[in-house]
Amino acid sequence: MHRFACVILVDRRGWLLLQERDEHALIDPDRWGMVGGHVDDGEDFEPAAYRELAEETGIVLAPPALTLWRELEVFHEAYGTRDPVRVYAAATDLTDADVACHEGRQIVFVEPAAARALPKSRSAELAVPTFLESDLYRSLTT
């Protein structure tokens, strides 16, 4: 079993920070997903979420900036396993200009209707539409 930690940042407009995965990604290539990745052996989910955010985007947040939204069980075809994916979220004043893309094609803030329509990774397909309807999302946009 693999463990994953993902982050959704919500900007002042209510747009979501998403990553366009490239063709080289082992999991869900050429799809849009959340920033995040594997939780290392001996590592807890929350520190992994902060680490992955910094590694993939250059954005360094200090605890307790992230709020745990939900744990999903996601089937990863590349591994043939159903894996826990914890999704964390936070509001941000950052813009696309503040985001580095260290993995994938691009990491940008995406308008909610567009985020619903994009071809998404399995985890993002489970998370994004539900997150956009959540109390946490509403609280991050007010």
Quote the pTM value.
0.96
Average pLDDT of the residues in 4-22? 98
| pLDDT, tens only, 54-74 | 999 999 999 999 999 999 999
- Dihedral (C-alpha) 132, 13, 139, 122: value to the nearest 10 degrees? 30
Mean pLDDT of the chain: 97
Q: Is residue 57 within 8 Å of residue 97, measured between CB atoms?
A: no
Write the CATH number for 55. 3.90.79.10
Query: Among residues 18, 84, 83, which one has the least CA distance to residue 53?
Result: 18
Q: Is residue 22 within 8 Å of residue 58, measured between CB atoms?
A: no
Q: What distance in Å separates the CA atoms of residue 116 and residue 103, rounded to the nearest whole number? A: 22
Residue 136 to residues 9, 13, 92, 108, Cα–Cα distance (Å): 12, 15, 14, 20
123: containing domain: 4-140
> What is the count of structural domains for the chain?
1
Three-state DSSP class for residue 39? coil
pLDDT for residue 1 is more than 90: no
CA angle 83, 116, 93 (to 5 degrees): 90
